[in-house]
Amino acid sequence: MKGLIYKNIRNIKIISIFLVSISVNVISNWLYSMLTEQDILSLNIIGRALLTILILCIAIFIFNKLSGYIISSMFPEIFEKENIAYAHQQIEGFASREQGRLIEKNSLDDESIASLSYDSIKDLISTCYNLFEAKYANIDPLLPILFEVTFMTKSYIDNEITIPACCNKGRRSPTSMRHRELNKKIYDNTVTAAVYRDAERKEPHTYIIEDTGREPYDELYVEQKERIKSSIIFPVLSSQKALLGTIVVHCDKPRFFLKRKQKYWKNILEIFSVQVGKEKIKLDILNEGIKQKTF
């Protein structure tokens, strides 16, 4: 089976090369059509070399986009394994940065440890976002996907659901957090709130909203569904299955997250949730004894 897949991939690449060669010919003709005969004759060796390099760069770009898009569409399981391995690599980078943050501290009292754990959670959410940005944002070369990753949990200050860590392309705080300043219970009807209710009577499970336009999904503010068209809400659990919060990933492409792919997304998000859970447990312990609550 694997041999057949790789044979098909080779055939796809051959077809892609053929299509690219046609593209190169079209681009070349178009570029030269923009020049007069006198301009072409006046081009020196350097000018012609630069023009050739330009055409080759455009051709390579088209080839990479075309072959990658076709292969990822036809054989997603290959890229899924690569993406899981990539997630593990990103966690190794996080561990290195975490060590650096520890070394920078001159002393480690409870408040500084809490601060380090909070920074680590924010780093982990950013690292998770970077995976989606690197591996999925441009799977469709014509229509980039915008992602946002958040960590939702109970606030130490008012015990209501909040978002202490978030990452998106603009590195902006979630719009809903501005509304939370006036309404502490704004997240009471969210899927994360449903996960917390689940935890009171059974083990929380993953929720996947394939298309917010077709499935029940409450907007927290006007036109939120324009930004959130597909979403996965993944519970962060302790080793005793206690709910510590949720990692929420959403994007502006309907049916990006599919229920039939739940096992794959679990394999990806579990890599990050284990680390987030470890830092959240530290914060739970430390926030009992410190005056300045983390969030």
Residue 6 is predicted with a pLDDT of 43
Spatial strand order in the sheet of 147-154 = 161-168, 147-154, 243-251, 230-237, 207-209
Task: Calculate mean pLDDT across residues 69-92.
Answer: 75
- How many of the other CB atoms lie within 10 Å of CB of 18? 10
183-239 pLDDT per residue, tens: 999 999 999 999 999 999 888 999 999 999 888 887 788 778 888 999 999 999 999
Domain with CATH 3.30.450.40 in the chain: 83-286
Instruction: Note the pLDDT of residue 225.
Output: 80
Average predicted confidence (pLDDT) for the chain: 82
pLDDT of 12 reads: 52
pLDDT of 198 reads: 93
Class of 83-286 in CATH: alpha beta
Closest CA to 206 of 218, 215, 216, 194: 194
Q: Which residue has the higher pLDDT, 295 or 51?
A: 295
Give the range with max mean pLDDT: 30-34, 79-83, 275-279: 275-279
Instruction: Give tens-digit pLDDT for 238-270.
Output: 999 999 999 999 999 999 999 999 999 999 999
Q: In the chain, which ranges are E strands?
A: 147-154, 161-168, 207-209, 230-237, 243-251
Q: pTM for the complete prediction?
A: 0.75
